[in-house]
Structure 1
Amino acid sequence: MSFEILIVVVFILGYVAIAIEHTLKVDKLVPALLMMAFAWALVAFGLDSFTTWFDSTEHSMVEGFKNLPLHVENHHEASKGGWLDSTLLHHFGKTCEILFFLVGAMTIVEIIDHFDGFGTIKSFIKTNKKKTLLWIMGVLAFVLSAIIDNLTATIVLITILRKLVSDSETRMWYAGLIIIAANAGGAWSPIGDVTTTMLWMGGKVSAVKLVEFIILPSIACMIVPIFIASFMPAFKGGFDAPESEGEGNKMGPTMLYLGLAMIIFVPIFKTVTHLPPYVGMMLSLGVVALVAEMISNRQFSLTSVTNDDGTVSHHHSSPTFKALASIEMPSILFFLGILMTVAALESLGLIFNFGQSVQAVMPNDIFVILMGVGSAIIDNVPLVAASMGMFDMASFPMDNHIWHFIAYTAGTGGSMLIIGSAAGVVAMGMEKISFFWYLKNIAWLALLGYVSGIVVFFIMHY
């Protein structure tokens, strides 16, 4: 069995383990990291047998790789200073750009939450009609997800929803429509979803063109399901909101507006300076953290903590420290494993060759539509990462319609199953929504929204 086949087998087995993580009772970051390590180990051991290499610098296939002057018989020597080392460093650098961008965004969101900034949103909701609340939640999910990503927007809005609607069955219906709206909102923003961030940072789309070509399809994807749902029995009549819990943090609104403004500032910073997006995100995080420290009046103060063994340790008790301790590191490590595994497949030209085969048997638009449907079953991060290696930049340059279409389908297709997106999975856990309840009541609405957005996209493009 060739090393290429072994690497593909490792990827398939790892991905199956990720898909059935709840059955295995093993967090998905574990198989992701294992398959990354095994994939690159196989690349190193099989270096002498590969005949092609995907040159990450030139973005092209290098034929007859084993005959290149840089190639030496001992793979350990090759890994030190040759193609393997430079390719691995290239992919790791590109992956870390995405990961540190996400870390910065997550930390800003946690700092906002530290000051109960999201509680400010609840004060804007002044209705007791179910239909009106549905539209408010839908619009909020659509807008917030474009700024703080669809996962965080879903968590924030379901938390607010719990303070407004006491009936769990009613909240399940709202949560289902929030998932659709949040995923639709994340698709048109370069900072709204991990996949759009990948396409933006990978030079496939520009922020301005992504918004220009995807916002209308995303609006259709959100409006159609909510419009239909507003006539359903679940959203008839009114509801009795629980009594107010009292005044929240006085600095909450300030930190909310500052945090959201600084996240929006990141694409502007990139456009003006042409620096990578993670630089702008670090700048925004620095500004938000500085204001948070000044407000809390605990700027880098140290707190002594007595450990169980009697020793005394010190740590920062600042809002920034607490925010960094609260970010989702398992998700960061999962993305690291997935993206670096896909990078191993890409380096051997396997993804590029697969893309060429697909283009030979079906139109690109059909393939992208099917990829969006597949994202309801398979995580959209590896799908988009793979698609970025399938299409040649010479044929599909930056802001080609295919990249915008991938952003839309991968971002919204996952709404058709509750396990198809991070927003769906978190809503499933928060409101105890069963897979089959969502499939029966919400999936068809998500499908109609998905198709509506595709129709709008084709009208705009063709």
Structure 2
Amino acid sequence: MFKSLFFLAFGSLSACFANEFENPDLTTTWVGIATLIIFVVGYFIIANEEKYHIDKSVPALFIGIFTFLLIAVYYAMNNIDIHLVHDEAERVILEIAEIFFFLFVAMTYIESLIHMGVFDRLKYNLISKGYTYRKLFWATGFLAFFISPIADNLTTALILSTVLITIDKSKKEFLVPGAINIVVAANAGGAWSPFGDITTLMAWTSGKGHFIDFIYLFPASILGYFVTAFLLSKVVPTTKPDFHADTEKPEMKEGAKAVIFLGIITIVTAVLSHQVLDFPAMWGMMFGLVLLKVHSFKLSKKFGKDHFNVFESMSKIENNTLLFFFGILAAVGALYFVGWLTLASVVYHPDYLGPTLSNIAVGFLSAIVDNVPVMSAILKANPDMDLSNWMLVTLTAGIGGSLISFGSAAGVGVMGKLKGIYTFNTHMKYAWTILLGYFVSIAVWYFQFEMLGFN
């Protein structure tokens, strides 16, 4: 098991192609070997989080921070310019901070909407319509696809898997395909929006495409998802779930609609600040946080401080996810700095797989390892690719995680919500439908970008 994970972790790095490496190549030194071993062991613990009962943020932070300290010690011992490590650490911090605060604000808005009862109302509206299981299957799937571009795939999957349990707690012939449908939809929806998935956000903030370039992935995302959903829907019952007419209708809190409106304004501000003013996207997001705080202050004056408090929403953010993100990107930064990504860059060369086949393979790798470190490694190595291939790797890294139940944050989250129902085995029973959708998405990308020339 450890050997296979070692191979996969190293394989994730081989999906990279670097420009000329400016720092000393340390891959054959003790610090270079130690950095790689620490990364592999740490990632092994992360992959077995449930077995060891260690939160994934702990090993991620350790390997990210400790490896940089080791590199600094090596530089000091060998009288190499320590400022090289200092400058690289600052670059890594800056890259992480841009995405860290972006996600921080996005999560705050999501928690605020939950507090204001927006999603409770959504759940009630779905289950009170008298839809059949199959109609509910399609409704939750399309909601996941169109909510995740605005929120994110994990939050969307968690909310809508809760809706599934609300509809029926035991009907596996509905819950299993419904859970897979939500995971696939959330990941596919996140692939065509810079806000929908961490990997897409990373590609956008790294300047690999303008905001509109990612929107061009919409046809590939939705058609691939539709193929999978259509095949899954055939096993979903056409009967209706029970619904008690005396169930109390939840009401949204006063000011909830304004929070929704401010969320939209925040997204627009983030896009404009990045695309027009050349500011980091998080700058616009932080401005949106200011607007939310002002709205919270007005509501507290009118209805009392317990009605809505932004800081209470912040306290409910999944900080372990943010810290995991910090640690894993720092770890990839260390691997890049010592030279491993340059050494493993050969697969992107035209004499080997080349960009297109390598990017298609990234989707399968993302399902096994995790799309965040894979995409981070690719961005760090910065292969010489045109816009079409940067869009392809964004697409495959996003939707590839759906191939295996634990291949994406959305899948892991839904497994936790539907314990004993949505499992690795129940997912793999229908994995062929996801694989077909994956190749349909790639075919649509090829038609758009290679045949029609969307560059």
- Please identify the structure whose Cα radius of gyration is greater: 1
Judge conservation of contact 2:133–2:241 (CA < 8 Å) in 1. yes
Match of 1:391 in 2: 382
Name the structure 2 match of 1:238. 240
| Amino acid in the other structure paired with 1:153 | T
Distance in 2 separating the partners of 1:155 and 1:74? 51
SS at match of 2:360: helix
Q: Deviations over 1:66-93 (max 9, x none)?
A: xxxxxxx545xx43xx221111111111
2:150 corresponds, among 147, 152, 163, to 147
TM-score for the superposition, normalised by structure 1: 0.84
CA contact (8 A) 1:258 1:288 kept: no
Q: CA deviation at 1:275?
A: 1.2
CA distance in 1, matches of 2:45, 2:114: 33
Per-residue deviation, 1:164: 2.9
Q: Is the 8 A contact 1:138 1:222 kept in 2?
A: no
SS of structure 2 residue aligned to 1:249: coil
- Over residues 129-172 of structure 1, what are the superposed CA-to-partner deviations in whole Å (9 max), with x where a residue is unaligned? 12221221111100000000011111121223333334442223
Q: 2:207 aligns with which of 194, 203, 208?
A: 203
Shift of 1:317: 8.8
Tell me how far 1:120 sits from its aligned partner: 3.2
Q: Is contact 1:128-1:241 (8 Å) kept? A: no
Tell me the residue number matched to 1:10.
Answer: 38
Q: What is the aligned partner in structure 2 of residue 362 from structure 1?
A: 353
Judged with a 3 Å threshold, the aligned counterparts in structure 2 of structure 1 residues 256 and 291 are, in CA distance, closer, same or farther, namely closer
Aligned to 1:117: 118
Given candidates 390, 410, 427, the residue that maps to 1:438 is 427
Q: How many residues align?
A: 414
Which residue of the partner structure matches residue 249 of structure 1? Answer: 252
Q: What is the Cα deviation at residue 405 of structure 1?
A: 0.8
Q: CA deviation at 1:173?
A: 2.5
Instruction: Determine helix, strand or coil for the equivalent of 2:406.
Output: coil
Question: For residue 179 of structure 2, what is the amino acid of its counterpart?
Answer: A
Deviation digits for residues 253-284 of structure 1, max 9, x if unmatched? 51453254134322234223221100011111
Query: Is 1:381 aligned to residue 372 of structure 2?
Result: yes
CA distance in 1, matches of 2:294, 2:373: 35
* Contact 2:263-2:288 within 8 A present in 1 as well: no
Cross-structure match for 1:409? 396
1:242 positional shift = 4.1
> 4+ residue stretches of structure 1 with deviation over 6 A?
none
Question: Where does residue 173 of structure 1 map in the other structure?
Answer: 177
Post-superposition Cα deviations, 1:80-113, rounded to whole Å, max 9, x if no partner, equal xx22111111111111111111111101111111
Which residue identity lines up with residue 165 of structure 1 in the other structure? D
Preserved contact between residue 106 and residue 151 of structure 2 (Cα < 8 Å): yes
Q: 1:461 aligned to 2:452?
A: no
Letter of the 1:37 counterpart = I
Instruction: Answer yes or no: is 1:95 the counterpart of 2:88.
Output: no
Q: What fraction of aligned residue pairs are identical, expressed as a percent?
A: 32
User: In 2, Cα distance between the equivalents of 1:300 and 1:351?
Assistant: 54
Counterpart CA distance in 2 for 1:121 and 1:270 is: 32
- The superposition leaves residues 24-66 of structure 1 with CA deviations (integer Å, 9 ceiling, x where unpaired) of 11111111111112211221122279xxxxxxxxxxxxxxxxx
Moved more, 38-47 or 115-124: 115-124
- Residues 137 and 178 in structure 1, CA contact (< 8 A), matched pair in contact too: yes
CA positional deviation for 1:246:
2.6
1:366, 1:242 → 2: CA distance? Answer: 53
The structural deviation recorded for 1:391 is 3.2
**CA drift at 1:123:** 5.2
User: Aligned equivalents of 2:84 and 2:392: distance in 1?
Assistant: 33
Q: Residue 275 in 1 paired to residue 279 in 2?
A: yes
Question: Closer, same or farther in 2 for the Cα pair 1:283/1:202, shift >3 Å?
Answer: same
| SS in structure 2 of the partner of residue 412 of structure 1 | helix
Whether 2:175 is the aligned partner of 1:185: answer: no
Q: Is the 8 A contact 2:177 2:233 kept in 1?
A: no
For structure 1, the residue ranges without an aligned partner over 5 or more in a row are 50-72, 302-315
Question: Does 2:338 align with 1:348?
Answer: yes
Verify the 8 A CA contact 1:166 1:241 in the aligned structure 2: no
* SS at 2:118 equivalent: coil
Partner of 2:17: none
- CA 1:33–1:174 in structure 2 vs 1: closer, same or farther (change >3 Å)? same
Q: Read off the aligned partner of 2:329 and give its amino acid letter.
A: L
The question of whether the paired residues in 2 share the 8 Å contact of 1:225 and 1:445 is answered with yes
2:18 paired with 1:29? no
What SS does the corresponding residue of 1:39 show, helix, strand or coil? helix
Look up the SS of the partner of 1:148 in the other structure: coil
Letter of the 2:205 counterpart? M
Deviation at 1:384, TM superposition (A): 0.2
